[in-house]
């Protein structure tokens, strides 16, 4: 799991983001909108690299995990601070679309937008079946018809590399 940064670290990052993108809201997102991809620091770093390279413009989560964790669902227009595996803020994204669909109805376009492996639907299903089984917060198990939150986003600010 990605370490959570102190609120002041997020505030300093947000101020740098606003200096580069003045149209961002004055206040940083709520703490539940500050997060890293995946379930391990290695996942977070690998998926963040795809985001920063412009390859990854989508993500998917089990709706049942949102319910189990009591987390609010993403909404179009919201900003998120994306962390690397060490918990350091690295990017600001804005959500452009959110859809909830059964796992077995996630389409090729979304699989491609996630940017992982060979970007095919078959690969997406293999990777996410494993992920949703291995790292579930809920106790309902995996099902082909389980609801999946498919989110599309774009990067509005990335911290300078290095």
Any domain includes 99: yes
pLDDT tens profile 18-75? 999 999 999 999 999 999 999 999 999 999 999 999 999 999 999 999 999 999 999 9
pLDDT tens profile 64-120? 999 999 999 999 999 999 999 999 999 999 999 999 999 999 999 999 999 999 999
When divided into structural domains, the chain yields a total of 1
pTM: 0.93
Cα-based distances in Å from 5 to 20, 114, 142 = 21, 25, 31
Any domain includes 1: no
Any domain includes 130: yes
Contact 142, 155 (CB under 8 A): no
Helix (H) or strand (E) holding 111, with range, is helix 108-114
Return the percentage of the chain with pLDDT > 90, whole number: 93
Contact 87, 127 (CB under 8 A): no
- 92's tokens: 């600001």
Any domain includes 2: no
Which residue matches tokens 């940083």? 28
Any domain includes 40: yes
Any domain includes 35: yes
Any domain includes 15: yes
Domain with residue 37: its CATH number is 3.10.400.10
Rounded to 5°, the CA angle 147-69-35 comes to 95
């Amino acid at each position: 799991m990605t370490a959570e940064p102190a609120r002041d670290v997020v505030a300093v990052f947000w101020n740098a983001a606003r200096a580069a993108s003045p149209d961002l809201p004055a206040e940083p997102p709520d703490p539940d909108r500050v997060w890293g991809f995946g379930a391990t620091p290695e996942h977070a770093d690998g998926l963040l690299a795809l985001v920063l390279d412009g390859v990854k413009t989508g993500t998917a989560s089990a709706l049942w995990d949102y319910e189990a964790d009591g987390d609010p669902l993403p909404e179009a227009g919201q900003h998120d601070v994306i962390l690397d595996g060490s918990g350091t803020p690295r990017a600001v994204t804005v959500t452009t679309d959110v859809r909830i669909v059964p796992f077995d109805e996630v389409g090729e376009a979304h699989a491609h937008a996630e940017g992982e492996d060979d970007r095919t639907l078959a690969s997406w299903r293999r990777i996410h079946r494993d992920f949703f089984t291995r790292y579930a917060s809920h106790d309902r198990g995996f099902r082909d018809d389980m609801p999946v939150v498919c989110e599309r986003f774009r990067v509005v600010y990335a911290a300078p590399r290095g």
